[in-house]
């Protein structure tokens, strides 16, 4: 990664933070774009933007690219959750989550493409979710946002492959991040809820943010030069395995 320049949205916490730190550890220079830039530590650069706001995204991407001297890697990772069936979320909630999880990646990609076109090793990685490919209960809106992001990944991979820009995504299972910690805190019995979430994954354990970061670093790096239009599951076997009851 030495000499490469990366931008990670949602890089102040969880998967994004682990990804930004891993990219930097492998020698990349990294800018984080987040609502909470004060949580970002040097040597990572930090820029405040709401991916739901086009003007703030364009300014942050422009400033980050100027500071880094260009861009080679874009990680569209910023995202928010939503629970419930189609009856539980009103139109405003649908618009808000799609605005961040789907259109956030569109806006950041649009702003970054002119810089990525100048790169000899251009790659985009989107953080999707197991919810994009599996029917999870009580996750209608969130699943739709991540399913659309997965489809967008494939379409963008096709549109930009001839320009030398690769586009892939990861589909994590339940990852042990501050987001999940907040969900557990809100549960009646956090320890029992953590055990239930862990048991849902065939490996019996939550995924660590560092494992997802390692998958993103692989997809973003020169070692994956022939990999584009793929979804890499980092999900404890949730999507692929059909175990017999014990």
Q: Give the position of tokens 């809100």.
A: 186
Nearer Cβ to ligand NAD, position 36 or 118?
36
Helix or strand (DSSP H, E) at 123: strand 122-127
Q: What are the residues binding ligand NAD (CB under 6 A)?
A: 9-10, 12-16, 34-36, 49-52, 77-80, 100, 104, 127, 129, 172, 174-175, 177-180
Nearer Cβ to ligand NAD, position 95 or 117?
95
- State the catalytic residue, choosing from 26, 115, 142, 218: 142
CB of 47 to ligand NAD, least distance (A): 10
Has 142 been annotated as catalytic?
Answer: yes
Nearer Cβ to ligand NAD, position 77 or 153?
77
CB of 144 to ligand NAD, least distance (A): 13
Cβ atoms 124, 76 nearer than 8 A: yes
CB of 205 to ligand NAD, least distance (A): 13
Cβ atoms 86, 142 nearer than 8 A: no
What residues have CB less than 8 Å from 20, skipping those under 6 apart?
6, 8, 11, 30, 32, 40, 44
Task: Report the alpha-carbon distance of residue 231 to residue 153 in Å, rounded.
Answer: 9
Catalytically annotated residues? 142
């Amino acid at each position: 990664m030495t000499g490469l320049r990366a931008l990670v949205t949602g890089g102040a916490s969880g998967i994004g933070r682990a990804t930004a730190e891993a990219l930097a550890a492998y020698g990349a220079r990294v800018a984080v774009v987040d609502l909470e830039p004060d949580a970002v530590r040097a040597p990572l650069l930090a820029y405040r933007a709401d991916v739901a706001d086009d003007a703030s995204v364009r300014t942050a991407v422009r400033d980050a690219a100027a500071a880094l001297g260009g861009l080679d890697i874009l990680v569209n990772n910023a995202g928010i959750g939503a629970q419930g069936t189609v009856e539980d979320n009103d139109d405003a909630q649908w618009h808000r989550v799609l605005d961040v999880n789907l259109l956030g990646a569109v806006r950041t990609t649009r702003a970054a493409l002119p810089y990525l076109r100048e790169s000899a090793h251009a790659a985009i990685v989107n953080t999707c979710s197991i919810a994009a490919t599996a029917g999870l209960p009580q996750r209608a809106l969130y699943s739709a946002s991540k399913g659309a992001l997965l489809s967008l990944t494939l379409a963008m991979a096709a549109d930009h492959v001839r320009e030398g820009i690769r586009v892939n995504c990861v589909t994590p299972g339940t990852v042990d991040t501050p987001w999940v910690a907040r969900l557990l805190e809100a549960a009646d019995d956090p320890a029992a809820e953590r055990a239930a979430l862990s048991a849902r994954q065939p490996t019996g354990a939550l995924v660590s943010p560092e494992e997802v970061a390692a998958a993103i670093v692989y997809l973003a790096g020169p070692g994956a030069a022939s990999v584009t239009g793929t979804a890499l599951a980092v999900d404890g076997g949730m999507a692929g395995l059909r175990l017999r009851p014990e």
